[in-house]
Structure 1
């Protein structure tokens, strides 16, 4: 089993910062800022290719998609719903030459941001971790069975991930999916971590851990289901073993994989928060998945705002996220529950 020491010395906080700075130069959106989205896509493709990955651009053209608005700010789900008549975008998927992709672990993050926000944490931080994981994994003597994904239109309702999950589930090759969603914002002061309404009743163990830590926003939340519990544990142990000794809280979503889990989420709002990113479509297609996050708007006051800029992020801890992600990716096949 590859441990975190094999990766951490090669992680560069300055390189992570460079990636986030480039990507968060302004809002990125296929609808509202297409030139910036093209620029971000070109940058990511170039960085992956430079690290030795083969990049495939997978365009999509979808009609009548129920999704969300990408206007800045935070709204309840019912207020975000939109019917999109036509959406044309593209996901990026990358693999290493020579890797055995009979089964593969997918590591992904969304490339777009909401309107009016440069999206440093949401989600240039997640994309930067994917890029750093790409550099780390490419240095292994045997190319790992890992596929990297940069999803389009997450902010419009997980559109790119929904499309990718349908295609990948039909191919039957994905053994697990790790989603990086807003992973760079940390606060050490007590009282800086908030919980969603009803969260303490629905998830007493995670709430108790947050309370015992005086509601400090200094941890990473790892959301998983039974099918991805072992992989979540590997990520947690790897993060704790980094020089940053990054703490994390594991939160198990009690729902089953598949369409039933999605329907339960619509009926139970505290549970629905656990499916707010690109891992959710993979759960819906019964693919084991987990989400790594700094909890976004429940910690970060800059979430979906013009102030979500690079100087608000903690790159030492982001480096720990990158190393732990590489460990979880290469060890996932042995971790399935």
Structure 2
């Protein structure tokens, strides 16, 4: 019978080791070694530091004294984890006395690993140094699984190309008996596991991050989406808060899904392949007389890309030379009450003699890719993405847009993509051109430096392979040959990014201006740098926020 049970146990183990799960906090709790009655492990997964702590109740390896009495033993194990495996030091503590401030000694006496197959089964491999004991044994969860499986399920994201920030909404906030009680709804399109942090905000704007040890329930990490989330804050026991001596506050909750952690990860979201696809779709004469069909097809493509990112799209129409031009506009609204506006644009029309891959499908593609990346974020300031029309007829679209702005407009800066795809790397066709090089020209106005300086900093730090040539407008009329010029005229810090146009490429306004002539790696580097520039200035985050009405604490 014993042999049969052992066989069944091993069969059960063999079925579970075929699977693995990422270590998550839901694995914390009581675990037993089913082969040895009376042994147990208390496992605690500490996610911010990727640590596992284990308390292991077991027995001495040999009998001691008369009657075969076996000593009880407690060991601890602690270490880091990666994926489904935790690598741990086995530690024995000696000295000390209960409730006495006496020194103790922690001695590493061996090594252990725990690999988790699912939320209820794992394998412990251990080795004690001095006692020459080692083995591999199965572990089985003893305490109920509260939320491990929910975390595992939520870690299987929907197969989408983009990732939207979490959404959080307060449904009730109340103060009673030294507690602030908060109920909220939490959602995430990709079912990411989230970290919830809470802040108290004084009426003067000062912020106080509430420590997790003064918060209870659905707070910290991990928290999964749901409509019935709640937490409460023991504010009378929060000594740090009491020192502030605040009584009138608001509560802010921030939900972070950990999608990106730094600027490098943001700029690396830019896709060279998507840029290539855009240019391939748009190239072709795009002119109201030369090819109105391709022009309208390009307009529709731009609109579809913007609508696909769930942004509101505006068509700003104007008349010039008897035909209607259309500026196509999408806006990512900032969440600050005093939000400023940043623009990024590329004109999409051509002259009648060229398919316009570089001039300016490259710039329009850059604007669209920036839109795809940045629309995945929330931001303090607004970002507006614009495809200007009739640039080739004298900057008509941008002039009209600028003329419609109120005198107290809130535009803090602009990035204008004007031909960003051609490099001269020694090929004979461009060797004799004035700007026969591989840099992007970063041309700023004579009165502002913020956009240019930020672009240079992002490029040098996060896109070091991009060569940037910084230039200041000195009145040369060539510096006004694109859609930034009307914005210089109204005092906007507008940045003119260009590969040099006819000063570098022999394909300018010619039938040969096609995708196969472009350096798409170079173009991708430019878009990455522009995305990082706007992400910095607009202060983007991948978090959802919710702010309560004013509260008066008791």
TM-score normalized with structure 2 length: 0.47
Distance 1:123-1:245 versus aligned 2 partners, 3 A rule: same
Match of 2:309 in 1: 51
For residues 109 and 159 of structure 1, what CA distance do their matches in structure 2 show? 13
**Counterparts in 2 of 1:1-337, with a 5 A limit?**
4-24=263-283, 26-62=284-320, 84=321, 86-96=322-332, 99-100=335-336, 102-142=339-379, 144-170=381-407, 172-189=409-426, 192=431, 194-195=433-434, 216-242=436-462, 245-254=465-474, 265=475, 271-332=476-537
Shift of 1:239: 2.4
Structure with the bigger RCO (C-alpha within 8 Å, sep 6+) is: 1
Structure with the higher fraction of residues in helix conformation: 1
For residues 242 and 305 of structure 1, what CA distance do their matches in structure 2 show? 35
For residues 482 and 463 of structure 2, what CA distance do their matches in structure 1 show? 28
Shift of 1:173: 2.1
Shift of 1:90: 1.0
Shift of 1:216: 4.5
Shift of 1:242: 4.2
Give the SS at the match of 1:30: coil
CA contact (8 A) 1:96 1:143 kept: no
CA contact (8 A) 1:93 1:148 kept: yes
Distance 1:60-1:99 versus aligned 2 partners, 3 A rule: farther
For residues 193 and 290 of structure 1, what CA distance do their matches in structure 2 show? 27
CA contact (8 A) 1:228 1:290 kept: no
CA contact (8 A) 2:287 2:351 kept: yes
TM-score normalized with structure 1 length: 0.76
Distance 1:99-1:123 versus aligned 2 partners, 3 A rule: farther
For residues 15 and 175 of structure 1, what CA distance do their matches in structure 2 show? 28
- Per-residue CA deviation, residues 159-181 of structure 1 (Å, 9 max, x unaligned), is 00000011125461211121100
CA contact (8 A) 1:165 1:281 kept: yes
Aligned residues: 276
List alignment gaps of at least 5 residues for structure 2.
1-260, 540-554
Distance 1:168-1:248 versus aligned 2 partners, 3 A rule: same
For residues 96 and 184 of structure 1, what CA distance do their matches in structure 2 show? 26
Give the SS at the match of 1:277: coil
- Per-residue CA deviation, residues 248-283 of structure 1 (Å, 9 max, x unaligned), is 1110013xxxxxxxxxx5xxxxx0000000000111
Distance 1:288-1:330 versus aligned 2 partners, 3 A rule: same
List alignment gaps of at least 5 residues for structure 1.
63-83, 196-214, 255-264, 266-270
Shift of 1:97: 5.1
Shift of 1:136: 1.1
Give the SS at the match of 1:88: strand
For residues 412 and 381 of structure 2, what CA distance do their matches in structure 1 show? 13
